[in-house]
Amino acid sequence: MSAKSVSIGICGLGTVGSGTFNVLRENAALIAARAGVSVQVTHVGARRDNADCDLSGIRVSRDIFQVADDPQVTILVELIGGTMTARELVERAIRAGKHVVTANKALIAEHGNALFALANAHGVEVRYEAAIAGGVPIVKALREGLAGNRIEWLAGIINGTANFILTEMRDKGRDFADVLVEAQALGYAEADPSFDVEGTDAAHKLVILASLAFGMPLQFESVYTEGITRLEPQDVAYARELGYSIKHLGIAKQNGAGVELRVHPTLIPHRRLLANVDGVKNAILVEGDAVGPTLYYGAGAGSRPTASAVVADLIDLARATAFNDVRGLPSLGIERSELRDLPIVDMENVDTPWYLRMEAEDRPGVLSRVASLFSDQGISIEALIQKAPVYGETLVSVIVLTNRARQGNVDAAVGEIERLDCITGKVVRIRVEELDG
C-alpha cells in the first residue's frame, strides 16, 4: 500500500456495512479525489459473507476484534449495532490508535461521553454522522454550516418507522396496530419494534443532536420519552380537521431555565414544512440565532443512504490522516470542545399549547364546568369544540385547544376534569408546537 492510501476495516456486513462497502468501491475514484488519498477497505470483520459484497482480495475475519488489532487498519468502521460488544470493539480500536466511524446511535447516546474522552486521550476521532437521520448530513450542518450560530432549538422527525405509521394513520384513517404490522412486513420496523414506536431510538438521536447544538455532555437518561403506541385514529382525524398533523418529534430547546429534551407525539400546523414530511423520511428543523430556521430532509435509513453518511465521515478522516491534520477537522460540540453542564427543564415546567380530548355526557352545563376548571389553573382556551353525538350515543367528544400552558397546570386541570361525574374515562392530551420560534 502506498503512502497515499488509507486502510479501512469494516466490522459488520449487514444492511449498512454492505452499503458502505459497495459505495466505497463504486465511487472509489471520486472518493479518492475528494479525500486526496485512496480509501481502501483492507479488512472486513463479519460472522458470515454477504452475497452483495465481493470480498475477493480482502482479509476477512470472523472475529471482529481482529480488525481492531490489525496494525494496517487506520480507521475502523463499527456497523454491528448494539452497545456491549460494539463498545468493547470501539474502545479496543481507539486504544490501538485507530479512528472510528459508527452509525450506532445507541452506542453514542449511552456511552459517547466515555468514548470521546478515551479518543481524546489517544489523539483519535470518533465520528457518527450516520447515527442520526441516516443519510441526512445533520451533524455536518450543526458542526460546520451553522457553527456561527447560537442554536435556539431544533425539532426533528428522526424515526422513519414512527413517521410511516403516523402518515398512514392520518391519510387512511387506519389504527396503530394495523399499520405496525404492515411496517414490519415492509421491513421498516424491527421484529421487536419497541425502540421505534416507544421513542427510544428517537431519544438516542435527540440527545446527540442536543449535545452538538448546545455543547453539553450527552445525557440520554434525561430525555422525556413518549411513544406513539397510545395514539388513537380519532385524534389523528380531529387534529387534521383543526389544521394540524400529528408527528412524533424529538425537540431540544434552550431557554433561560435550561434545556428541554423531549420526544413525544406533537400536533404541528399543516402549513409547516415539517408537517408534510411523510412516510419513512426524516427531517430536522434547526433554529439558529443568525440564520433563522433551516430544514434538513432526506432518507433516515436504508443501506445506501446510511452508507452515504458513513463514507462522508471516512473521507474527512482519510483526508485528515493523509495530511496529518486531524486537529484541523471541524468540531462543534461533543468531541473535544469545552462542554457545559446545562440544567434540564423539568417536564412539569415545559410550557406548550395543548390538544385535549374528553368524552362528556351530552347535557347542558358540561362545557362551562370544563372551561372553569381550566380557568382555575390560569389556562386560556384557544378553541373548544363539541362534536355532534353519534346516533344512539349519550357521550360526545369535547376537544379543547389551549394557549401555552405549563404541564403542571394542565395536569392539575385534567385531574379535576377527570373527577367530574359528566366526564367518562381519561382525558387524551397531546402537546402542540407551532414551530415558529
Ligand X SMILES: NC(=O)c1ccc[n+]([C@@H]2O[C@H](COP(=O)([O-])OP(=O)(O)OC[C@H]3O[C@@H](n4cnc5c(N)ncnc54)[C@H](OP(=O)(O)O)[C@@H]3O)[C@@H](O)[C@H]2O)c1
Give least dist CB 161 to ligand X, A: 10
Q: Which is nearer to ligand X, 156 or 288 (CB)?
A: 156
| Collapsed DSSP state (helix, strand, coil) of residue 168 | helix
Of 30, 118, 119, 83, residue with least CA distance to 200? 83
Alpha carbon distance 255, 278 (integer Å): 30
Q: Closest CB to ligand X among 90 and 154?
A: 90
Is 140 a known active-site residue? no
Q: How far is the CB of 33 from ligand X (least distance, A)?
A: 26
Q: What is the DSSP string of 113-147?
A: HHHHHHHHHHT--EE-GGGTTTTS-HHHIIIIITT
The cell for 271 is 402549513
Q: How far is CA 206 from the centre of its chain?
A: 5
Q: How many residues does the chain have?
A: 437
Q: Which is nearer to ligand X, 79 or 400 (CB)?
A: 79
Are the C-beta atoms of 209 and 332 separated by less than 8 Å? Answer: no
Is residue 270 helix, strand or coil? coil
Query: Per DSSP, what are the bridge partners of residue 344?
Result: 259
Residue whose CB is less far from ligand X, 53 or 155 = 53
Residue nearest to ligand X (CB): 14
Q: How far apart are CA 274 and CA 40, in angstroms?
A: 39
The one catalytic residue in 105, 205, 247, 253 is 205
Q: Which residues bind ligand X (CB under 6 A)?
A: 12-17, 45-48, 64, 79-81, 85, 103-105, 130, 134, 301-302, 306
Contact, 85 vs 111, CB < 8 A?
Answer: no
Q: Minimal distance in Å, beta carbon 76 to ligand X?
A: 13
Min CB(116)–ligand X separation in Å: 17
**C-beta of 27 vs 66, nearer to ligand X:** 66
Smallest gap from Cβ 67 to ligand X, in A, equals 10
- Which active-site residues does the annotation give? 205
